[in-house]
Structure 1
Amino acid sequence: MQLKHLFTEDRAVSPVIGVILMVAITVILAAVIGTFVLGLGDQVSETAPQASFSFDYNSTSGDLVITHDSGESITSANVEIVDPSGSATDWDDAANNGDGKITAGESDTITLSSPSSGDTVRVVWTSESGSTSSTLQKWTYNG
């Protein structure tokens, strides 16, 4: 082996590594740009709030009182109460302090007319953009 020949050799591994790095960078950039162009980046930050609700049903009047027990305060415009028939009612913020937020201790009442065993009432949160929704709590009638 000639030492002079070793230092004058033109072949190297660096072009192969360069091509691999360029392909990797291109794939990563395409993934990042694709997520934001398709709007998936906005949905990452739209997670459902953590809150706990309790339910108190009065069988004589048919009223179901839903109370926010603990957890994050929630914008009342984003919360609906879905009854067993599937119709949704906005959370009545005026019945509380009217500040636009549902905080611990605030409640809302809906009336159930002759519920059947297994009927479910859900408290549903929808994100500001309307692209994400989640059931925060549900209550099932066991009469």
Structure 2
Amino acid sequence: MDIKQLFQDDDAVSPVIGVILMVAITVILAAVIASFVLGMGPSNDPTPTATIGMNYEQTGSSGGTEYGLLTLSHESGETIDASNLYVRGSGFSTSPTETHITEGSWTQGGTFFGPNSEVKSGQSVDVGVESTYDVSVVWESPEGDTSSTLNEQTGPDA
């Protein structure tokens, strides 16, 4: 075997580079397809984008505990079905862990909205709380498999 001939014979270079490029393209294509199939690609997230404001106003005290109204207001963003909104946490005057604010609860300019109402910008609802509250406004999908916290707040004495 002549060593000089090995350095001068470059017939195998083009086929090797071609195979490497084909394998690379195949791997990249497989990764892109797998990401879409396995759900890692872009998704159609149904979570609404809305700004929910919270404003606490003390209305009284009893036995050393201060209490008041927490006004939740839809300040901007998408319209949300009222049946998908929950107020969760602690320190409620009426419910220990969750209030499901649904039909007939949200108002706009003093007008109550009926069953299957949609919460729109400018609407608000009052929730009775103690000053030690810890509250989150949560949107939950109708199927119950997706949820998103739209806002959370703690009371002045929490």
Shorter-chain TM-score above 0.5: yes
Bigger helix share: 1
The 2-side partners of 1:115 and 1:10 are apart by 82
Deviations 1:71-116 (A, max 9, x none): 222233332111226833333233343454221111223222x442
Deviations 1:23-73 (A, max 9, x none): 33333333333334433447x331551424232434336332211122222
Matched, 1:82 2:88: yes
Instruction: Look up the match of 1:73.
Output: 79
Bigger strand share: 2
Matched, 1:21 2:38: no
CA gap of 1:125–1:24, structure 2 versus 1, over 3 A, is farther
Please state how far the C-alpha of 1:142 moved relative to its aligned partner. Answer: 0.4
**What SS does structure 2 have at the residue aligned with 1:80?**
strand
CA gap of 1:89–1:29, structure 2 versus 1, over 3 A, is farther
CA gap of 1:100–1:108, structure 2 versus 1, over 3 A, is same
Correspondence 1:45-64 to 2 at 5 A? 45-46=44-45, 48-60=48-60, 62-64=68-70
The 8 Å contact of residues 48 and 127 in structure 1, kept in 2 or not, is answered as no
AA partner of residue 45 (structure 1): N
Root mean square deviation of aligned Cα = 3.2
Equivalent in 88, 93, 101 of residue 118 of structure 2? 101
Instruction: Look up the match of 2:5.
Output: none
Instruction: Look up the match of 1:32.
Output: 32
AA partner of residue 133 (structure 1): S
CA gap of 1:80–1:30, structure 2 versus 1, over 3 A, is farther
The 2-side partners of 1:94 and 1:19 are apart by 68
The 2-side partners of 1:88 and 1:28 are apart by 48
The 1-side partners of 2:141 and 2:97 are apart by 19
The 8 Å contact of residues 48 and 78 in structure 2, kept in 1 or not, is answered as no
Matched, 1:110 2:109: no
The 8 Å contact of residues 80 and 89 in structure 1, kept in 2 or not, is answered as yes
The 2-side partners of 1:127 and 1:22 are apart by 44
**What SS does structure 2 have at the residue aligned with 1:23?**
helix
**What SS does structure 1 have at the residue aligned with 2:150?**
strand
AA partner of residue 82 (structure 1): R
Please state how far the C-alpha of 1:127 moved relative to its aligned partner. Answer: 4.4
Please state how far the C-alpha of 1:13 moved relative to its aligned partner. Answer: 4.0
